[in-house]
Structure 1
Amino acid sequence: MTEPADDNARSAAFYGRRKGKKLRTAQADHLERDLPRLAVDLDTLPGRPLADLFPHPVRAVRLEIGFGGGEHLISEAQRHPDIGFIGAEAFINGIAKATAMVADLGLSNVRLHGDDVVPLLDRLPEGGLDQVDLLYPDPWPKRRHWKRRFVRADNIARIARILASGGRFRFATDIESYAAWTLRRLTADPRFEWTAARADDWRRPWEGWPGTRYEAKAKREGRLPGYYEFRRL
């Protein structure tokens, strides 16, 4: 089957709902009180060291695109207090949940972007990140919607620009066709190298992997996750 051509002129990455069920009172309060101090100010990003986003020194900065309920983002921030994390999520319920967790746990190494991630990617400094995670993105399984998949030429170029040499792009999915789609594009890109040396390298989750609610649902429904890592050359 012939795949639709990537649309490099696309200006936005987010498709779908921005809000689900009504926020709980505590979540709404956290959004109003805490999100302003946690939010990344895009206007101040160009020319600014990313480490300046955080009140304490960090040795590296990582980005998670579409963090969902925030399970992985928060777990990684707790495991690595010396690393700064930027979480991007356009779904307001996910932003509300992450904001509440960051505030309640007192995490100083997390910043949040509650909108389409493309404007953020375009303002991040070249080579400023040592890792980008894209975990269980919407696979848009219908062929007419493939153009909405996040892994495409324009966004691969964006990720390549912001990753430092030796940096990692990590991708997880339980949809075999999306895994194949991503592998075709990343292995054909001279800027990236797939790090897997054997099947277990992509069948087993990464060290410290906390799992996510979506992943648990996929396993219950008989879909096996894959964990793919690519090194920026």
Structure 2
Amino acid sequence: MSGETKPSHPTRQREAFFGRLKGPKLRERQRRLIEEVLPQRRIDLAKGPPSQLRDLFPVTVDEIRLEIGFGGGEHLHHETGRYPETGFIGVEPFINGMAKLLGALDDAPRDNLLLFDEDAVTLLDWLPTASLSGVDLFYPDPWPKKRHFKRRFVNATNLDRLARVLKPGGHFRFASDIDTYVNWTLVHCRDHPAFSWIAEGPFDWRTPYEGWPGTRYEAKAKREKRTPAYLTFVRR
């Protein structure tokens, strides 16, 4: 497809935690942004991880956060503006979602944001140990059928990956409107020795995160009468 970019490192079989990679045909502006702007922000795994992850950013950053599967980028773009001294890495293999975020960046640039458009686990395995202060996973594909549960991103292996790259005291935040996935995540994080759920009552998981701008997926969930849950786990 015109506008599709080449991988920046040797590919491997993806672990299938997400579905389609392409949606409707990109508009001309979106195609141009994918071709011309994305390569300037894309993390190149072929170069190997730097000794200090902050060295990848063109501006000085105090800490680094990761958002996995940012969708249309509403939350990620919002956070980069709120915290200009924090470096952000956004992962989204869905080309139309990436194009939407690039459009927002074209209108309101952010120098503290890097992007990755392939499988998040590839990036997680590349990142230096204890290099992140936070990881966000909002409204991931729920894979609602039982036979597809193995494709959910939250599992013991990926929690091991998150535990390795998060600093002690770092946060893993998970939001979803699918009850079975919320319960699934609570159980998996409860059983993992590196994570503790920081909640003292229902208010803690029914209230959106501080400064939360909302997302299109959340708006759809509310229209369809599904109640989102906002979970926060701390890396021990």
Shared fold, TM over 0.5 = yes
Q: How many residues align?
A: 224
Q: Could you say if the C-alpha distance between residues 67 and 41 of structure 1 is closer, same or farther in structure 2, counting changes exceeding 3 Å?
A: same
| TM-score (structure 2 length as normaliser) | 0.92
2:126 maps to 1:126: no
Which of 172, 177, 182 is equivalent to 2:185?
182
- Secondary structure of 1:87's counterpart equals strand
Residue segments in structure 1 that go unaligned for 5+ positions in a row: 1-9
Asked if the contact 1:14/1:90 (under 8 Å) is kept, the reply is no
Q: Could you say if the C-alpha distance between residues 113 and 172 of structure 1 is closer, same or farther in structure 2, counting changes exceeding 3 Å?
A: same
Which of 84, 89, 113 is equivalent to 1:86?
89
Residue segments in structure 2 that go unaligned for 5+ positions in a row: 1-12
Aligned-partner Cα distance in 1 for 2:203–2:48: 39
Question: Corresponding residue for 1:220?
Answer: 223
Supply the AA of the counterpart residue of 1:197: E
Asked if the contact 1:61/1:130 (under 8 Å) is kept, the reply is yes
Asked if the contact 2:70/2:76 (under 8 Å) is kept, the reply is yes
CA RMSD of aligned residues (A): 1.2
2:92 maps to 1:107: no
Percent identity (aligned): 54
What's the CA shift string for 1:191-230, capped at 9, x where partnerless? Answer: 1110111110000001000000010010010000000000
Supply the AA of the counterpart residue of 1:174: D
Question: Corresponding residue for 1:168?
Answer: 171
Question: Corresponding residue for 2:162?
Answer: 159
Supply the AA of the counterpart residue of 2:80: A
Asked if the contact 1:102/1:110 (under 8 Å) is kept, the reply is no
Asked if the contact 1:68/1:94 (under 8 Å) is kept, the reply is yes
Asked if the contact 2:38/2:102 (under 8 Å) is kept, the reply is yes
Question: How far did 1:156 drift?
Answer: 0.6
| TM-score (structure 1 length as normaliser) | 0.93
Aligned-partner Cα distance in 2 for 1:13–1:131: 23
Which of 142, 150, 156 is equivalent to 1:139?
142
